[in-house]
Homo-oligomer: A and B are copies of this chain.
Amino acid sequence: MNTPMQNVRVDGATRLFGIVGHPVAQVKTPQLLNARFDASRLNAVCVPFDAPVEHFEAIVQGLKSLANLDGLVITVPHKISARALVDRLSPAAQRVGAINAMRREADGTWLGDMFDGTGLLQGLAPLGFQLAGQRVKQIGAGGAGAAVAHALAQAGAASLAVSDPRQAALSELVERLRHFYPDCKVDIDHNPADVTDTDLLINCSPVGMGTGDGMPVAFGAFPAALQVVDIIMTPAETPLLKHARRFGCNASNGLPMIHGQLEAFARFFRVDPAEPALSTFSDVR
């Protein structure tokens, strides 16, 4: 997937959007959203805001006070804590308990929404991944992990086994999933290294992002039919993905998740408000 051309011109009247994360050097949203603004001839720019955890709240409160900032994308590790900094939550954000986008409403209040899950589904479908009816093993129950699990359950996964060393976050997520998706069998995964009886393995933990990182779990051989997704984007091929491809598995990094939610971001941020017909996913790849 190539990053589309962006042709940004900034002047005093440019409207601001940002992606808030820590770190941010690896994010792809500015390139994608700026190309989208450019295509729509909108005088707007999306920039990265690198917000250390201890300053996150003060940074976002300051950004919200800017008269020319209209919206923020929220990424790791702030998706859960950002929930408290908006005035209202979309139904998806309420279910997931985290947000990955917030925008200023006409009345000055802020609305939070969550597009990671739908982005993942829209991004993976064209790559040949099966989700409905599948037995899923998921590593990581943080903000992005919660969104992914909800999306998988909503997409009709048969079962979902989730592991995370943070027991409180894990229990909360499992309870929420059971509440909202009674048709999906949701369990805490006490043996994450075992991929027998698993159709899809998905890593939503940050392990694999750091240089020198190994796999999030010490896996053995994979069956070739196992589908493997790592939502990390940088490096493009994590140790987990390399391992999966060695066994012939269909494997993808996190970039399709971002591409898959670009049009959702564009709608949410009111790019082309006059055009209800939205371009399709294939336009942005």
Contacts and interface: CB of A to CB of B under 8 A. Distances in A.
A22 B66 CA distance: 10
A29 to B, nearest CB: 8
A46 B47 CA distance: 10
Interface in A60-79: 60-63, 65-69
Interface string A1-24: 001001111111110100100111
B48 A58 contact: no
A27 to B, nearest CB: 4
A28 interface: yes
Contacts of A46: 10
Interface stretch (A49-57, A111-119, A127-135): A49-57
Contacts of A51: 65-67
Contacts of A8: 8-10, 45
Contact of A10 (B6, B12, B22): B6
30 contacts: A6-B9, A7-B7, A8-B8, A10-B31, A10-B34, A10-B47, A10-B48, A11-B31, A12-B25, A12-B27, A12-B29, A13-B24, A13-B25, A13-B48, A14-B48, A16-B47, A16-B48, A48-B68, A49-B66, A50-B66, A51-B65, A51-B66, A52-B67, A58-B61, A58-B62, A59-B62, A59-B63, A59-B66, A61-B62, A62-B63
Interface of A: 3, 6-14, 16, 19, 22-31, 34, 45-52, 55, 58-63, 65-69
Given A10-B34, A11-B28, A55-B65, 17 more contacts: A8-B10, A10-B30, A10-B47, A11-B27, A13-B48, A16-B48, A16-B49, A22-B67, A24-B68, A45-B45, A45-B47, A49-B69, A50-B66, A50-B69, A51-B67, A61-B62, A62-B63
